[in-house]
Amino acid sequence: MLNKYARAFFTRVLTPFAALLLRLGVSPDTVTLIGTGGVMAGALAFFPRGEFFWGTVVITLFVFSDLVDGTMARQSGRSSRWGAFLDSTLDRVADAAVFGGIALWYAGGGGDPVLCAVAIFCLASGQVVSYTKARGESIGLPVNVNGLVERAERLVITLVCTGLAGFETTFGVPYIGILLPVALWVVAVGSLVTILQRMVTVRREAAEADAAPVRGGAASTGGEATGPGRDGAAATEQGGGSS
């Protein structure tokens, strides 16, 4: 839901800035690379030391590059498969840096192995959420489901709560640090639910897609196509699993 409405809002807001960068001769790929580098620097330089407020400030300054580069590509007419691939790949890198930085804090100065494990689970499950959709689409399925917690929700929940938790260590505001553990648990559970939602959707869509040619073959041959159709489905399933 956030991905649908917030993206449209911020895209309108950032359109003039995207146009300015194009006039200055900056390419969309450059913005993508700089944005990812900034997010990684903010996450890995500040979060492992427990400086959550300033780390979140730095990350926030760069995280909107994900919207700016797409807007620039559309305005310039330079949208490409390479640009889409680069953007999607570096999104995964940036997400890993955010949760990796938090995990490093709990593995070190934060001294909480359980929350370290939860942060690592958030990192891994976020990658799987993206993979389930990409893999489903690669085998010709629409994967027509949004899911409870997608990338936008994961980032907003994590960064807002991490930044607020930083008020305790940076400005001495008491008790507010509890927001970071709460955010990690919410993202972990939400990501698990989203993975299950997408798996159920892909299973249903795959069954419908596999059944469609079987029904067509049965109608034309009096039902004798059932065996070959089933074999074909099994071959496809094995091929998908081998990757």
Residue numbers annotated as active site: 91
Closest CA to 169 of 70, 74, 89, 55: 55
The reply, when asked if residue 95 is annotated as ligand binding, is no
Maximum Cα interatomic distance, the chain, rounded to a whole number of Å: 77
> Known binder of ligand: residue 91?
yes
Distance CA 94, CA 32 (A): 11
Q: Is 210 annotated as a binding residue?
A: no
Task: Give the whole-angstrom CA distance, residue 66 versus residue 98.
Answer: 15
Q: How far is CA 195 from the centre of its chain?
A: 12
- Compute the distance between CA of residue 24 and CA of residue 167 in angstroms, rounded to an integer: 37
Q: Which two tokens stand for residue 179?
A: 């927001």
Q: Is 29 annotated as a binding residue?
A: yes
Distances (CA, A) of 221 to 17, 23, 67, 136, 155: 61, 63, 52, 31, 53
Asked whether residue 160 is marked as a ligand-binding residue, the answer is no
Q: Do the annotations mark residue 78 as ligand-binding?
A: no
Residue 87 annotated as binding site: yes
Residue 112 is labelled as binding a ligand:
no
Whether 31 has a binding-site annotation, put simply, is yes
Residue ranges at the known binding site: 29-32, 66, 69-70, 74, 80, 87, 91
Residue ranges at the known binding site for a CDP-1,2-diacyl-sn-glycerol: 29-32, 70, 74, 80
Residue ranges at the known binding site for Mg(2+): 66, 69, 87, 91
